Amino acid sequence: MQATDRDRLLIQLHHLQLPKLADYGLIEYNTSLQLISYIEESRVEALLQSEPIAGDGNKEDNRNNQNS
């Protein structure tokens, strides 16, 4: 059986990315239940509240670039 892109992504998330985020204290990850809980972190919250960066792919930027 061949792994699909989705399967590879899920494996990478479960074994690599989510444990790293948990090690950094950004999430709690229960591997047995595959349950992820976000832990509020002031630096992340500041990034989420900041202005979008020009060219980050949001629709407003794309409209502005098409009209230029």
Range among 24-33, 41-50, 52-61 rated most confident: 24-33
Q: Summarize the confidence of residues 4-14 as an average pLDDT.
A: 92
Query: How many domains does the chain divide into?
Result: 1
Whose tokens are 């992340």? That residue is 44
Cα(20)–Cα(36) distance, integer angstroms: 12
Tens digit of each residue's pLDDT (9 = 90 or more) over 12-31: 999 999 999 999 999 999 98
Range of the domain at 42: 5-67
In degrees and rounded to multiples of 5, residue 14 shows phi and psi of -65, -40
Contact 63, 55 (CB under 8 A): no
Q: Summarize the confidence of residues 36-46 as an average pLDDT.
A: 89
HSE value, Cβ hemisphere, 13 Å, CA-based, for 19: 8
